[in-house]
Amino acid sequence: MTQRLNKKRALVTGGSRGIGAAIVKRLASEGADVALTYVSNPDRADEVVKAAMAHGVQAFAIKADAADPAVTMQAVDRVVEKFGGIDILVNNAGVLMMGQIDDLSLEAFDRTYEINIRGVFAATKAAVRHMKPGGRIINIGSCNADRMPFAGGSAYAMSKSALVGLVKGLSRDLGPRGITINNIQPGPVDTDLNPATSDFAKSLLPLMSLGRYSTADEIAGMVAYLASPESGYITGASLTIDGGFTA
């Protein structure tokens, strides 16, 4: 593995499991010092930290709920204090609150907004105060911003669509400062929360050109590219990695 990110300092929100954990490990394998946030499972977070440190980098975990903007911004400040700065922010923390309009509560709608949109904005606002030219903001969106093929996903699709507009607008704010901001829009990914062997997965497989779920490592690979110097001319973009789900 090349060390494209040697001496870079990164924060991955929601980095204790699934896609987030894969991102932490990939950034560490490319030489970045990495912090992660988690909400409820310190043991799982510690396992990811140890896996990252095995690559010879610094790593640590912070308990922080992305629904609380003050806590989110404090987490960014802790990273800056520990690492001496921040170069890469990966806004991975998110929730999927399902329900058709008669059943989806306003509380569930609000929590979707708080974590999937406001949390991203709060973390980004805190991070860019400390970023130098070459900084990278990477959001984990969803291909459901472009296609929602089943009922009950309106709030989730809304939140991921909002990220599309957010990065377009923030690219204008951050471009003159030499900082890029982009979304990655995965399709279905094989994780413990959405296993590729579930009945739900069987209903989605026929919708994809490749007929399979992505692995978390495939998403992490795209994150590593957007975090690297090679991606310096990409900003304001929403890049889809969905096996043809939206084709």
Which pLDDT tens digit goes with each residue over 125-152? Answer: 999 999 999 999 999 999 999 999 999 9
Instruction: Check: CB of residue 66 under 8 Å from CB of residue 95.
Output: no
Residue 219: pLDDT over 60 = yes
Q: And the tokens for 113?
A: 């907004």
Please tell me the distance from the alpha carbon of residue 52 to that of residue 27, in angstroms, as a whole number.
Answer: 8
Cα–Cα nearest to 47, from 57, 61, 33: 61
Phi, psi of 76 (to 5 degrees): -60, -45
Residues 221 and 88: their CA atoms lie apart, in Å, by: 15
Quote the pLDDT of residue 197: 93
Mean pLDDT of the chain: 97
Q: Which CATH topology does 9-240 take?
A: Rossmann fold (3.40.50)
Residue 30 one-letter amino acid: E
pLDDT at 191 over 60: yes
Please compute the mean of the pLDDT values over residues 66-85 and round it to a whole number. 97
Label residue 107 by pLDDT band (50, 70, 90).
very high
pLDDT at 1: 57
| pLDDT score recorded for residue 2 | 72
Q: In angstroms, rounded to a whole number, what is the distance separating the alpha carbons of residues 233 and 178?
A: 10
Domain boundaries, the chain: 9-240
Q: What is the pLDDT of residues 16-66, one digit of tens each?
A: 999 999 999 999 999 999 999 999 999 999 999 999 999 999 999 999 999
Place of tokens 């709920």: 65
The set of catalytic residues is 156
| Span 93-107, average pLDDT | 96
Asked if pLDDT for residue 157 goes beyond 60, the answer is: yes
Side-chain half-sphere exposure of 82, counting CA atoms within 13 A: 20
Q: What is the pTM of this model?
A: 0.96
Averaged pLDDT for residues 91-100? 96
* Mean pLDDT for the stretch of residues 181-193: 96
pLDDT above 90 for 193:
no
Q: Which residues pair with 137 in a beta bridge?
A: 89, 181
pLDDT > 90: what percent of the chain? Answer: 98
First to last CA, the chain: 32
For every residue of the chain, DSSP letters joined together read ---TTTT-EEEETT-SSHHHHHHHHHHHHTT-EEEEEESS-HHHHHHHHHHHHTTT--EEEEE--TT-HHHHHHHHHHHHHHHSS-SEEEE---------TTT--HHHHHHHHIIIIIHHHHHHHHHHTTPPTT-EEEEE--GGGT---STT-HHHHHHHHHHHHHHHHHHHHHGGGT-EEEEEEE--EE-SSS-TTSHHHHHHGGGSSS-SPEEHHHHHHHHHHHHSGGGTT--S-EEEESTTTT-
Bridge-based pairing state of the strands 59-63 and 238-241: unpaired
Pair 48, 61: CB distance under 8 Å = yes
Phi, psi of 61 (to 5 degrees): -115, 150
Tens digit of each residue's pLDDT (9 = 90 or more) over 115-124: 999 999 999 9
Read off the pLDDT of each residue in 169-197 and give the average, rounded to a whole number. Answer: 96
